[in-house]
Amino acid sequence: MLTLSGVTKRYPTGDRALTDIELTLPKGQVMALIGPSGAGKSTLIRCVNRLVEPTQGSIRLEETEITRLSGNALRQARRSMGMIFQEYALVDRLTVMENVLSGRLGYVGFWRSFLRRYPQDAVTEAFRLLERVGLPHAIDKRADALSGGQRQRVGIARALLQSPKLLLVDEPTASLDPKTSRQIMRLIRELCAERGLAAIINIHDVTLAQQFADRIVGLRAGEIVFDGLPSELTSEILTTIYGEEDWDTTPEPMDDDVSDDSISHPPYAREVPGLAAGGAR
C-alpha cells in the first residue's frame, strides 16, 4: 500500500539523511524501523507525510504519488496517515477530549475548529476511541494532568480519529518506562490488527521491535542494511546496524525489565550487553 522508491534526502546543511531508499509496505503490516540515532528514521517517516521534502525519489500511497501533491490534495493525503510522536504533542491546557478531537481539524474546517465545534459523529467516535485506549474516565482532565503513558494513549486516539490507512509512529516509547512501553506497543499492535492498518514504527529498542513488529528494517547512515523477520535479526546483523563501538558503551541490562515474565527475550538479547534493557541506540 506504501512504496518508496529511490528516496533520497539531503538537508540544506549538506547532511545526507537518506540515500536511495527502496521500501514496500503491504496493507496491514506493522514494520519497525530500527537504527542508531541519526540513522535517518525520523527523516524517512517525515518524508512519507511530507513534513520533510524528499530531495529525490517517489513515494506512493496506494494510487497517490505523495511527492507531487500540494495544497488541498496534500492535506487530504495527510489525513490518511496518522502520526504518533515521542513527545505526544498534546496541547497541555486542553482536555483529553479536546486533544483527541483536534485529530479531526483537517475535516471540520478552520472556523468550526477555531470555535471548537465538532460534529456529533466525531465526538461519539472520540468517546469510543478513548474507551478503547483505556481512558474512559479521563475525558475531562487537562492533558498536563496525565502520566506519560496516558498522554501517549491520547496521542494514539487522536491519530486514529482521522481514520487513517497508515500509522507513522516516531519513537512512541522513548519517554516511557519499560513496562508502560510494552503496554503502549501492544496497544498500537492490537489497534493495527483490529483496523487493518499498516504502520511504520521508529524505535531504537530492539527487543520491543522484535516483540511487536511483523517485520524489521534496519537503517544505518541513511541506508537500509537489514530487511527481514524479527527472528532473522542476529547479533551480527545488529552489529552491522548499530556498529561495533556502540555495544561497548551500552549500559548493563536492568533487572526490572528482564524479570517481567510476560515477555520473552530472544536468546542473543542476553549476549549483547544492554540489549535486553533496550540500551541499543
Ligand X SMILES: Nc1ncnc2c1ncn2[C@@H]1O[C@H](COP(=O)(O)OP(=O)(O)O)[C@@H](O)[C@H]1O
- Interface with ligand X by CB under 6 A: which residues? 11, 13, 15, 17, 35, 37-43
For the bound state, the minimum distance from the C-beta of residue 171 to ligand X, rounded and expressed in Å, comes to 8
The one-letter amino acid at 38: G
Out of 25, 30, 36, 42, the residue judged to bind Mg ion by CB under 5 A = 42
Q: Which of the choices Mg ion, ligand X, none does residue 187 contact, using the CB cut-off of 5 to 8 A by kind?
A: none
| Region binding Mg ion by CB under 5 A among candidate stretches 22-30, 34-42, 147-155, 220-228 | 34-42
- Distance separating alpha carbons of residues 215 and 205, to the nearest angstrom: 14
Q: Does 162 bind Mg ion (CB under 5 A)?
A: no
Question: Contact, 45 vs 200, CB < 8 A?
Answer: yes
| Region binding Mg ion by CB under 5 A among candidate stretches 20-28, 42-50, 88-96, 123-131 | 42-50
Please choose, from the candidates 85, 75, 20, 103, the residue with its C-alpha nearest in 3D space to the C-alpha of residue 46: 85
Please choose, from the candidates 152, 232, 159, 155, the residue with its C-alpha nearest in 3D space to the C-alpha of residue 197: 159
Instruction: Give, in order, the Cα–Cα distances in Å from 221 to each of 21, 40, 86, 208.
Output: 12, 7, 21, 22
For the bound state, the minimum distance from the C-beta of residue 153 to ligand X, rounded and expressed in Å, comes to 23
For 3, the grid coordinates are 512504496
Q: Which of the choices Mg ion, ligand X, none does residue 38 contact, using the CB cut-off of 5 to 8 A by kind?
A: ligand X
Q: Which of the choices Mg ion, ligand X, none does residue 35 contact, using the CB cut-off of 5 to 8 A by kind?
A: ligand X
Q: Any idea how long the chain is?
A: 281
| Region binding Mg ion by CB under 5 A among candidate stretches 36-44, 152-160, 192-200, 227-235 | 36-44
DSSP letter for each residue of 120-162:
HHHHHHHHHHHHHTT-TT-TTSBGGGS-HHHHHHHHHHHHHHT
Provide the H-helix boundaries in 119-274: 120-132, 148-161, 178-195, 206-212, 235-242, 244-249, 255-258
For the bound state, the minimum distance from the C-beta of residue 261 to Mg ion, rounded and expressed in Å, comes to 31
- Distance separating alpha carbons of residues 238 and 241, to the nearest angstrom: 5
For the bound state, the minimum distance from the C-beta of residue 171 to Mg ion, rounded and expressed in Å, comes to 6
Question: What phi and psi values does residue 159 have, to the nearest 5 degrees?
Answer: -65, -35
Q: Does 210 bind Mg ion (CB under 5 A)?
A: no
For the bound state, the minimum distance from the C-beta of residue 129 to ligand X, rounded and expressed in Å, comes to 27
Nearer to ligand X, 101 or 217 (CB): 217
DSSP letter for each residue of 48-106:
HTTSS--SEEEEEETTEEGGG--HHHHHHHHHTEEEE-TTTT--TTSBHHHHHHGGGHH
Q: Which of the choices ligand X, Mg ion, none does residue 39 contact, using the CB cut-off of 5 to 8 A by kind?
A: ligand X
Nearer to ligand X, 13 or 231 (CB): 13
For the bound state, the minimum distance from the C-beta of residue 13 to Mg ion, rounded and expressed in Å, comes to 16
Q: Which of the choices ligand X, Mg ion, none does residue 148 contact, using the CB cut-off of 5 to 8 A by kind?
A: none
Contact residues for Mg ion, defined by CB under 5 A: 41-42
